Homo-oligomer: A and B are copies of this chain.
């Protein structure tokens, strides 16, 4: 899973299952002179679906990585698109081809709790997350100094029940202006309208501070304390129109005891929220995730 020092392409696809799919895709890449660096498949036998992720590059690479190679790689990508498009259509595939040299533009949404946003920005700063944070949107002002430190445009957009529609309209305009591809809700405490969610299918990642489906909704740490659970959790998921019910990307848990009060759960939970959200964002940026039937395939 280590990052390559030369350009690669990731093909991510799903389609109705049938014999020969691996052979066709890998055969086509071989004929074009591509070298498969990593391939992974999955079949859902119940639903009869096939999923595949193939990371590939020009066969000459990584012998050298001169400008010539870059041009070769571009030609290879164009050639692949030309021959793969009709094949994909004939096999009823949904597919995307992403070049790992491109760094997607991301918007961070946050509210008053900044641990997730601060953590993500530090991971981008250090090069751990291959993306550009194009802008930060919050219904609170306290993230402003952090945004300034990282040199990221910040917009304060208060949200109240009667202004939600207008706030979302402003948000959508800014997202379009900044050509944002991925929205990360880093403990953003406002609910998004179905129309807003529909504008970014499988492109809004949220972190919920419980082990879903336990403790859906508000104040999950209070609910966990009330129930007397021995582990607390956090869940990152794609946002759909059903509250806290989108496809789960990652979950993790931490052990607690009878000594832990609600404040302790909140404190422990912050570490879960940070890592569970960061992993989801990293995997999305690595083009490892396919959604189907309200679940995710996460290729490793």
A residues lining the B interface (CB < 8 Å) = 1-3, 19-20, 22-23, 26-27, 29-30, 33-43, 45, 59, 114-115, 118-119, 122, 126, 128, 145-146, 149, 211-215, 227-231, 233, 247-253, 255, 257-264, 267, 270-271, 275, 278, 293-298, 300
Q: Does A295 lie within 8 Å of B228, measured CB to CB? A: yes
Q: How far is the CA of A230 from the CA of B59 in the complex (A)?
A: 31
Taking CB atoms, residues of chain B closer than 8 Å to A41 are: 36, 38-40
Q: Which of B26, B119, B264 contacts A1 (CB 8 A)?
A: B264
SS class, residues of chain A in contact with chain B = mixed
Taking CB atoms, residues of chain B closer than 8 Å to A26 are: 20, 22-23, 26-27
Q: Does A260 lie within 8 Å of B119, measured CB to CB? A: no
Q: How far is the CA of A272 from the CA of B148 in the complex (A)?
A: 28
Q: Does A118 lie within 8 Å of B128, measured CB to CB? A: no
Given contacts A213-B227, A228-B247, contact A1 B40 (CB under 8 A): no
Task: Look across to chain B and name the residue whose beta carbon is closest to the beta carbon of A216.
Answer: B214
Q: Does B253 lie within 8 Å of A231, measured CB to CB? A: yes
